[in-house]
């Protein structure tokens, strides 16, 4: 099984690098900036073979042209978005194999943050870009709350042990919000205390797991009475569905 390494980029992005032990071939996920990827590859004697892209935002795709110019690599990304340099356009139901038979991903369509956003998932790992964050979800830039709820439900249905690799180090801020949105959830409090210690030591708080997100991520809990009650207190009209609850708490989070 491949190893997964975070390459920090910009202020709070993570570019995920995948590498089979003993192999000099590497895959990166969402390379918004080519420079830190090139530095890592050079320092570790690796050749870039594949790029996986979840959505078109520049901080996830901006490094592709420079990386393709340097390496003979394949670029896989969403069929429904315009991204420079794509070699294979993917949609839900597609599967891709990388450099060995043990590295195979299936594709999920998870729109809302962007209209064509996709995820890459195998038996143990999920690369979900900016749709699902640790204790949060992405802003609704190109989609609706209903789309986001549907996308999150699709991810929440994965096995609890699935490791969640998202695009940003937002965990602490997301848990601070979750503490307000889900105030009686003791697991949120416990996770917040742990993550605060991790960030004090400049540790990476990812990956999360689907099981942990189901317990502590307010955006995966919009179908539950505690979140509905909190949303009702922040809305002129009582939310009547998980989608409406999500719309209320996402709008609240935007201003938090």
Task: State the catalytic residues.
Answer: 55, 57, 59-60, 113, 130, 168
> Beta-carbon neighbour count of residue 162 at 10 Å?
21
* Mean pLDDT, all residues of the chain: 96
- Cα separation of the two ends of the chain: 39
The model scores a pTM over 0.85: yes
Question: 102 or 20, which is more confident?
Answer: 20
* Tens digit of each residue's pLDDT (9 = 90 or more) over 187-199: 999 999 999 999 9
* Tens digit of each residue's pLDDT (9 = 90 or more) over 42-84: 999 999 999 999 999 999 999 999 999 999 999 999 999 999 9
Q: Which residues contact 48 (CB under 8 A, 6 or more apart)?
A: 25, 26, 27, 28, 37, 41, 67, 70, 71, 73
Distance CA 107, CA 135 (A): 22
Please, which contacts does 189-193 make with residues 24 or more away whose CB atoms are closer than 8 Å?
A: 191/135, 191/216
CA atoms within 13 A on the CB side of 153: 11
Q: Where are the alpha helices (DSSP H) in the chain?
A: 34-43, 58-61, 64-70, 145-156, 171-181, 186-200, 210-216, 225-233, 242-254
């Amino acid at each position: 099984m491949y190893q997964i390494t975070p390459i920090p980029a910009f202020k709070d992005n993570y570019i995920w690098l995948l590498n089979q032990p003993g192999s000099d071939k590497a895959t990166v996920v969402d390379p918004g900036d080519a420079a830190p990827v090139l530095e890592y590859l050079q320092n570790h004697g690796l050749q870039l073979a594949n790029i996986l892209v979840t959505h078109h935002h520049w901080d996830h795709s901006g490094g592709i042209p420079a990386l393709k110019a340097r390496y003979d690599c394949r670029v896989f990304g969403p069929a429904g978005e315009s991204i420079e340099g794509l070699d294979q356009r993917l949609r839900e139901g597609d599967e891709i194999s990388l450099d060995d038979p043990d590295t195979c991903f299936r594709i999920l369509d998870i729109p809302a943050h962007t209209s064509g956003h996709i995820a890459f998932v195998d038996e143990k790992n999920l690369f979900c870009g900016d749709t699902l964050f640790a204790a949060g979800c992405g802003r609704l830039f190109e989609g609706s709350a209903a789309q986001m709820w549907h996308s999150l439900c699709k991810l929440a249905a994965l096995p609890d042990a699935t490791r969640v690799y998202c695009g940003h180090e937002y965990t602490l801020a997301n848990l601070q919000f979750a503490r307000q949105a889900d105030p009686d959830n003791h697991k949120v409090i416990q996770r917040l205390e742990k993550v605060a210690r991790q960030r004090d030591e400049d540790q990476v708080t990812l990956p999360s797991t689907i099981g942990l997100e189901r317990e502590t991520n307010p955006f995966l809990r919009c179908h539950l009475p505690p979140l509905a009650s909190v949303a009702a207190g922040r809305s002129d009209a009582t939310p009547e569905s998980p989608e409406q609850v999500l719309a209320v708490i996402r709008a609240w989070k935007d201003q938090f």
